[in-house]
């Protein structure tokens, strides 16, 4: 644990990529194989389940520290991080622990099934022997909230530096449904086992948003454009008469989309398709809100399959006839995908082809972008015709050119404290719009939450207003005198029975503070609903 805690401290104290890579490489050179494997797992979001709930962690920490719970809660509001608060209130132990990271994680896995008496004894014992930063890291692992400023790509670079294995090969090895409980560092990283790859996806190629003028990309004839579909990015894999569906978050979601089983026997083995899972109610592309009824369901009923069917909107092919074809140009890959689609489209309605478009001017492409919401897309994807399929987010060959966000003026009605460096400020806001009733009466109805978009100075100014104009308190939430108007931006909108307003917005955020407007000038729910295409 000492080595791992020292590593996390180094990673957390620098923004320099090379320093982080070197720190990780040094760690991989010296740590034992079990600790290396768990470190890879933690940094790629494969943490063990949380063994103790946060309420008990608070109670047992205050008991060991000898302070009242109210004082802990006040401290927590100031610090803004539960793991750090616990680490701060408990004094350093006199007998340091020599247990390794993997030993602690093995303890945590087994701790989940223990009773509260055993859990409390375990926590008190280890809190007493760990120093401050080890205790902080221990608490992060215990709460399951371990987030550090290290991307998987950066970790892969460091691992490549330590093992001399190519980064792309390592990225491929780390994809999939592996767990430290079921494999070893040697089996996962060092050994070659072809049978392990039957279900493995390829690392996704990601695009950057257009910067500046689109015409700066050069000749428009060098580019294909296609609509940026608003669904779930996925890879559909067919190998050895089995089908696997992976989301971009490296989650195996095959059982969530049983419709895709129809591809087996029609699409040949050795095929990997990159595309978007889209809702397709009533034979047309739906909204992301439609898709949410399928996300997170443990089982998909027949009625849900009938009510909210999905399709695969295919836009690239990464493997064909068992061969990795990512180094071929996008044009070549699209020809292969197009030929495949022409062969199978009569037999399977669940697969659609995303149209690639060419334009004779950037102006004509811009006109196509303007109609994106009509076809339920977020804008356009621009892909250079000669581009290979790369790993991760790269600049140059793929760009996303999203439509301008929808905006509406709304009233601040509720607020909560923020997190991290903003934990002592009210920065998480709820906004409302006017709902017109009978006889000309109006009331404010909440419709969205947002916590980004203001400067630090503006956040401090709004915080001061909230503290001086609190109407009621509901635990951590404060209702606020409705006086401030903000312009809220969002990417999409749909009707929703789950929201009081009857409308769900996609990715809401604060665009600007409208100090020039009174609340009577804020928009209404009817204004919002008129934006629904």
Looking at residue 73, its pLDDT comes to: 84
| Each residue's pLDDT tens digit, 493-514 | 888 877 788 888 888 999 999 9
Residues forming beta bridges with residue 398, ordered by sequence position = 383
Check residue 185 and give its pLDDT.
92
How far is 107 from 74, CA to CA, in rounded Å? 31
- Nearest by Cα to 490 from 286, 230, 292, 213: 230
- As given in the structure block, the two tokens for residue 55 are 């309420």
Q: Give pLDDT < 50 ranges for the chain.
A: none
Predicted local distance difference test score (pLDDT) of residue 449: 92
Strands 208-209 and 398-402: parallel
**pLDDT for residue 430:** 94
Query: Can you give the pLDDT at residue 26?
Result: 93
> Which CATH number is 205-402 given?
3.30.470.30
- Using the 8-state DSSP alphabet, how is residue 357 labeled? B
The C-alpha atoms of residue 351 and residue 172 are separated, in whole angstroms, by 25
Provide the 3-class DSSP secondary structure of residue 470.
strand
Mention the CATH class of domain 2-143. mainly alpha
Question: Within a 10 A sphere around the Cβ of 323, how many other Cβ atoms?
Answer: 9
**In 3D, which of 331, 319, 328 has the Cα closest to residue 383?**
331
Q: In residues, how long is the chain?
A: 533
pLDDT at 223 (0 to 100)? 96
The model's pLDDT over 445-480, given as tens digits with 9 standing for 90+, comes to: 999 999 888 998 999 999 999 999 999 988 778 999
Strand partners, 510: 488
State the pLDDT at residue 174: 81
Q: Which two tokens stand for residue 6?
A: 């020292």
Nearest Cα residue to 381 out of 272, 240, 224: 224
Do the Cβ atoms of 333 and 325 come closer than 8 Å? Answer: yes
Inter-CA distances, 102 with 4, 29, 173, 236, 293, Å: 10, 16, 21, 34, 38
Long-range contacts of 397-402 (CB under 8 A, 24+ apart): 397/330, 398/205, 398/206, 398/207, 398/208, 399/207, 399/208, 399/209, 399/210, 399/217, 400/207, 400/208, 400/209, 400/210, 400/228, 401/209, 401/210, 401/214, 401/228, 401/369, 402/209, 402/228, 402/378, 402/491
**For the chain, which residues make up each domain, given as ranges?**
2-143, 205-402, 406-530
- pLDDT number for residue 420: 62
- Read off φ and ψ for residue 367, nearest 5 degrees: -65, -35
Question: Whole-prediction pTM value?
Answer: 0.64
pLDDT of residue 508: 92
Among residues 209, 276, 208, 210, the alpha carbon closest in space to that of 248 is found at: 276
pLDDT value at position 131? 87
- The CATH class given to the 406-530 domain equals mainly beta
Choose among 183, 98, 75, 494: nearest CA to 308: 494
């Amino acid at each position: 644990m000492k080595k791992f805690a020292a590593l996390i401290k180094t990673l957390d104290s620098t923004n320099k990529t090379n320093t982080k890579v070197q720190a990780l490489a040094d760690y991989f050179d010296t740590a034992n194989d079990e600790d290396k494997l768990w470190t890879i797992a933690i940094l790629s979001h494969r943490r063990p389940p949380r063994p103790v709930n946060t309420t008990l962690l608070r109670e047992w920490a205050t008991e060991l520290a000898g302070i009242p719970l109210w004082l802990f809660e006040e401290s927590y509001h100031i610090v803004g991080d539960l793991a750090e608060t616990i680490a701060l209130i408990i004094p350093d132990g006199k007998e340091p622990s020599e247990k390794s990271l993997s030993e602690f994680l093995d303890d945590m896995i087994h701790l989940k099934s223990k009773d509260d008496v055993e859990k409390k004894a375990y926590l008190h014992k280890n809190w007493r022997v760990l120093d401050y930063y080890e205790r902080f890291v221990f608490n992060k692992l215990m709460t399951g909230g371990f987030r550090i400023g290290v991307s998987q790509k950066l970790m892969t670079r460091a691992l490549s530096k330590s093992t001399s294995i190519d980064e792309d090969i390592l990225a491929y090895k780390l994809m999939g449904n592996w767990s430290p409980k079921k494999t070893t560092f040697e089996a996962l990283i060092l050994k070659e086992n072809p049978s392990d790859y039957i279900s493995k996806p390829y690392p996704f190629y990601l695009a950057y948003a257009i910067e500046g003028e689109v015409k700066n990309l050069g000749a428009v004839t060098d580019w294909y454009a296609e609509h940026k579909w608003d669904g779930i990015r996925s890879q559909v894999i067919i190998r050895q008469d089995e089908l696997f569906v992976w989301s971009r978050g490296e989650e195996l979601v095959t059982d969530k989309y049983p419709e895709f089983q129809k591809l087996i026997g029609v699409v040949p083995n050795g095929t990997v398709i990159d595309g978007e899972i889209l809702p397709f109610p009533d034979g047309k592309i739906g909204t992301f809100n439609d898709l949410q009824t399928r996300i997170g369901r443990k089982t998909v009923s027949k009625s849900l399959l009938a009510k909210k069917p999905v399709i695969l909107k295919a836009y690239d092919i990464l493997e064909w006839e068992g061969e990795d074809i990512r180094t071929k140009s996008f044009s070549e890959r699209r020809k292969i995908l197009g030929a495949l689609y022409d062969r199978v489209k009569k037999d399977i309605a669940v697969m659609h082809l995303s149209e690639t478009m060419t334009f004779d001017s950037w102006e004509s492409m811009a006109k196509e972008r303007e109609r994106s919401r009509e076809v339920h897309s977020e804008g356009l994807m621009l892909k250079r015709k000669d581009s290979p399929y790369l790993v991760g987010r790269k600049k140059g060959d793929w760009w996303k050119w999203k439509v301008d966000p929808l905006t509406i003026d709304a009233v601040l009605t509720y607020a909560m404290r923020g997190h991290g460096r903003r934990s002592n400020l009210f920065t998480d806001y709820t906004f409302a719009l006017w709902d017109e009733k009978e006889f000309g009466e109006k009331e404010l109805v909440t419709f969205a939450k947002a916590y980004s978009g203001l400067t630090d100075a503006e956040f401090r100014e709004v915080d001061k207003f909230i503290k001086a104009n609190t109407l009621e308190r509901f635990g951590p939430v404060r209702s606020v005198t409705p006086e401030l108007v903000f312009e809220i931006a969002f990417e999409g909108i749909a009707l929703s029975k789950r929201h009081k307003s009857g409308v769900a917005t996609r990715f809401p955020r604060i665009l600007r503070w409208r100090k020039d407007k009174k609340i009577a000038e804020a928009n209404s729910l009817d204004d919002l609903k008129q934006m629904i295409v």
